[in-house]
Structure 1
Amino acid sequence: MIEKFRKYHYALIAFIGVLTITGLNAAPLKILDFKSNQLSPLVQQQVCKNLASLCHEKSTLLSIAVDHGELWILSQNKIVQFKQQHHQLKLQQQWEISIPENDEFASVSHYIYPKLFPVAQQRYAIARIDEYSETYSEGGAHIERASFYGLRTDGQLKSLINNYPFSFNRIIRACFSERDYATSDGNCHDEDQLTLDIRPINPMQWQFRYHYNLKLSPASDSQQKSHQGNRVINIDLTHIPTQPDIPEAWNFHGQD
């Protein structure tokens, strides 16, 4: 009887250990989306009372309501966390992301991506997107690069990922002669694009899924062929590569 109890006891300990290791007791990490027009007039009034700087005329308040009475607000480059206590909102913490002034002449702009990316349970990061536009002869490109910052509990930011490819769309002219137009089958441009899908898979670990598509004109002089490509990369947020391991053509910064 004692021996059976010991075996049962050891098996129970082993089972609990498996639960702990695999994280079955932890809630799955989810990316949270900021959305507009979710705040009731009463809640918005409380938000403005706590932090008047959020509520000037030009500001648009985006929000996320989380379990346990937690409310996140995004307004331009400010992220604010509130907690509901006794039917009142209480300011918990706020962060401000540095955004350079937009340069209209250089076709450069910046914005905060309206999502919270989890780095661990109840810990998040935010992304700043830098946009670039280029114009070519009968073509052009639109490029986005992303930098991610961890939101520390003391209101400071921790730089996590710097200047990673986020997306681009590029169109390059392929027809220059009558023969090119005759052989183009109505398509006189080479086009390629890159998109990124981000998935949190474990605390301090994200999965980046890059998708690339190249479509060439029949008149193109490119040595490549039209194709699609995918690259899945697990990003350890404690040891982040300077740049992701993707083909050079996918990591397009713009023309020098």
Structure 2
Amino acid sequence: MKHCVVLWVTAVSFPLMAQGNINTIKPTAFIALKKGSEQYTGVCKAAINRCGEETKVWKAKGLEDVFYLIEPTLEMIKFRKKNDDYIKEGQWKFDNKNNDENAMSEDLIKDKVYIYPALYPLSKTKQAIALVTKWQALYSGGSREEEYADFIMLNDDGSSQVAFKDVLFSSKAMIRACFTAEEYAKTSHCHDEDWALLNLKFIDEGKEYYSWKFITKSYTWPAFVEKVSTQPKITERVAWPFQ
């Protein structure tokens, strides 16, 4: 196991979203379809009625005719609507054993593995999904959660390849600091908290794959102080897929 590092990587509105002007290369967000809706029913029917209680059906944002069905078994199927038919265009199955060694300390227990509903650009023609493993620990005075992602390239033939491995995708830590009635009466903030905001930028440098810039803003918010006093620590790194 690795040494304990307390970090909360979270996201506002869209995790790992590229920021910038209108020409910025961005991920494709997924929009959840309501169960029983016409599009949801159409996709499930095309998938031979395999939609179970935990199955999710998504529409690719900005693409009115592209849909994805995601199973809790870590299988993803792509459909394209042509006229009134939903045609399968791709199918991928992922291994739920990824990231099994990434717990930051031995008290963390593996909770689940899931496909995050978005596509991340690797090049003009290739995209990746984030396969996320969630770890958690509960304490009498707080809790900790950590998520690690493998960004996996999707190939048209149903195969896949890990482009980036073991990326800290999200985590949070909160430890109780109030233990007496007087302390609780003194402040509404009775926990020590740490978190960070992670953004990704995708850069086309004319190579086979885009470079990815990881930008992390880390914060520490001690108990008994106002949140406005917290200041970010910013770190950046650039990496290329498959290196």
Q: Which category of TM-score, normalised to the shorter sequence, fits these structures?
A: 0.5 to 0.7
Partner of 1:52: 48
Partner of 2:235: 231
Counterpart-to-counterpart distance in 2, 1:192 and 1:75: 33
Counterpart-to-counterpart distance in 1, 2:222 and 2:30: 37
Which blocks of at least 5 consecutive residues in structure 2 are unaligned?
1-22, 99-107
Sequence identity of aligned pairs in percent?
22
Write the mapping of 1:22-171 to structure 2, written as runs, cut at 5 A: 29-37=25-33, 43-52=39-48, 54-64=50-60, 67=63, 69-76=65-72, 77-85=74-82, 87-100=84-97, 106=109, 108-171=111-174
Counterpart-to-counterpart distance in 2, 1:160 and 1:65: 23
Answer whether contact 2:34 2:40 (CA < 8 A) is retained: no
The TM-score with structure 1 as length reference comes to: 0.64
Answer whether contact 1:204 1:238 (CA < 8 A) is retained: no
The structure with more radius of gyration: 1
Answer whether contact 1:188 1:217 (CA < 8 A) is retained: yes
Answer whether contact 2:57 2:68 (CA < 8 A) is retained: no
RMSD in angstroms over aligned alpha carbons? 3.6
Partner of 1:14: none
Q: In structure 2, what residue type is equivalent to 1:228?
A: P
Moved more, 115-124 or 200-209: 200-209
Are 1:215 and 2:217 matched, yes or no?
no
Q: In structure 1, what residue type is equivalent to 2:29?
A: D
Equivalent pairs counted in the alignment come to 203
Secondary structure, in 3 states, of the residue corresponding to 1:63? Answer: strand
Do the aligned partners of residues 37 and 189 (structure 1) sit closer, same or farther apart at CA in structure 2, a change above 3 Å counting? closer
How much does 1:106 deviate?
3.1
Answer whether contact 1:64 1:73 (CA < 8 A) is retained: no
Counterpart-to-counterpart distance in 2, 1:80 and 1:59: 11
Moved more, 67-76 or 207-216: 67-76
Q: In structure 1, what residue type is equivalent to 2:201?
A: R
Which blocks of at least 5 consecutive residues in structure 1 are unaligned?
1-26, 220-224, 240-256
Do the aligned partners of residues 226 and 97 (structure 1) sit closer, same or farther apart at CA in structure 2, a change above 3 Å counting? same
User: Which structure is higher in helix share?
Assistant: 1
Answer whether contact 2:134 2:148 (CA < 8 A) is retained: yes
Partner of 1:201: 203
Q: In structure 1, what residue type is equivalent to 2:198?
A: L
